[in-house]
Structure 1
């Protein structure tokens, strides 16, 4: 058996983990058929954003929870030995070591098999959401997932607050377009045609963002027009139209001061996402509201978030019920595996 087995089988599912801008930065180097080294590919990170670097570790936490979910569903326990060193995007070594993971074969429980199926069905939905509120018992289950990890899950369905936060999210994009480094980063990951999205198998596709590719290319390539009196208002209207049906927003608050915190935050988010998926609830993260300093301040003020004692309101998302969104493309499993004949 090659070292890439059973890793190739596990990564075939785990590669569908969500990542910022669908950049898919996590890599594995199998040492043998039980142990693999884990890396974050700095060339696939998003360092231009404020908090973009911490969210590299959040992404690692999301992946670690995804990997555990898949491995357990396929009959393996997972042990981790993690390196919590800071990421240095100026490093000449472009693979930042995150630690090692080790598999142990074991029987699969019904719950583990069911959780793997939840992971396989999970998708980000940018489609319009209907006006149904998520039941209180589902919110309580999600809150329990967060609190078990030392985080707090809060929601709002107050129409004024929801409208305010949606407009903050909209303004964030306009703000980011004025920041040359962030703008260049965004443009790197936009996929304007179905063929481009399919061939490159990463990034944010126009289809997933519910905008015609040529229109998205035009408005993003002419960022100066976003401030124009007439056409700017039209562009803002088009963007807000993709936010139809936002009835309820959720946020997570918790420890967020060092890499170990960021990783645990990512794990918590993935667990909460799977818990909501179990009830057919979709979600869509508003990540840039967190990473844009001005937007983050406006968000914290709007919801009176608790950011004392190294805690932070580190995630905001819309959630609810929508039609099934298109599946985002992912690179092949072999692209995540370093060496071992991958």
Structure 2
């Protein structure tokens, strides 16, 4: 597949592929139709069907991608109008690529805010490093709250030591709980990259380097999940894992409409906007996604934080928990090359050939 795409697509899509995704799975693909229009699709082979919220967070990921592309486009003088479908993903579908909607480009003036957001997007990355014991400027939290409120969501946060420690402990226990689930365990193993060579080969997944864990230890511990419960080895592995959680001083979460596919997409767009607000202030984030997707951990989190969720259909749900703060610059996770994220009109991709 040639990357000589019409209009500004090549430049915009090439930058937008730095968007964050669950397990760094990079499931979003694009079919360019002409200089101003494209189709957005989801690659089911890169989805996370074992997760309790696998489908909703697939659509959250689509929202993160759309907001990423819109951010890149605005910094280059373009707008992105997205018309997305309100039907959910089907992980059992026969077709590998599921349509999410369409994108249309338009000309737009480049504003100082657009330039600042693009600079932040280029710097943005997940930090799993130990955080410094420094408070985050309240003005940053106020901006995050305003962004959430404008989208009909609530931004909650805490620096209360006891609650922070309790939620970090819930996040830690979630990993051990997930490893006991055969389907989730197999899914995690599929995305672990235990060496720089394996990470370079796939340019996706969770690399030992970005997880800040020794590759051989990571691979052995994940393959032999029973070790986490052994009297001697278990506490040692848990201590190594918790070592990256040093310095967590503050945690934030988002609650709001989460009942329909379009709610999920809107949530993803909001999360990227908030992430960029933190990045502009040189504050790093680390989402605790599995706390949300693990039913037991989700209940423990909302109980600890005193969050009231309204409606069985997700009318008001706690859908994101993350730590934030100051840290040393973390390693950047690799991304697949642009041709691997593009589809031809006949549905083929460059890696099919």
| 1:241 maps to 2:240 | no
Q: 2:337 aligns with which of 332, 335, 339?
A: 332
What is the match of residue 116 of structure 1?
118
Following superposition of structure 1 onto structure 2, how do residues 215-254 of structure 1 map, counting pairs within 5 Å?
215-254=217-256
1:72 to partner: Cα distance: 1.2
**What CA distance in whole angstroms lies between the structure 2 residues aligned with 1:165 and 1:148?**
27
1:74 to partner: Cα distance: 1.1
Conserved 8 A contact 1:128-1:322: yes
1:273 to partner: Cα distance: 0.3
Conserved 8 A contact 2:116-2:280: no
Q: 2:72 aligns with which of 48, 70, 73?
A: 70
* Range 207-216 or range 100-109, more displaced: 100-109
Aligned CA-pair RMSD: 1.4
What is the match of residue 53 of structure 2?
51
Gaps of 5+ in 1: none
Q: Aligned pairs, how many?
A: 342
Conserved 8 A contact 1:192-1:206: yes
| 1:93 maps to 2:95 | yes
Q: TM-score, with normalisation over the residues of structure 2?
A: 0.94
1:281 to partner: Cα distance: 0.5
- SS of match in other structure, 2:58: helix
**What CA distance in whole angstroms lies between the structure 2 residues aligned with 1:3 and 1:85?**
29
**What CA distance in whole angstroms lies between the structure 2 residues aligned with 1:41 and 1:5?**
25
Change (3 A) 1:188 1:5: farther
Deviations 1:76-117 (A, max 9, x none): 111121112111100001111111001112332222122111
**What CA distance in whole angstroms lies between the structure 2 residues aligned with 1:84 and 1:279?**
34
Conserved 8 A contact 2:4-2:10: no
1:30 to partner: Cα distance: 0.4
* Range 302-311 or range 172-181, more displaced: 302-311
1:335 to partner: Cα distance: 1.2
What is the match of residue 258 of structure 2?
256
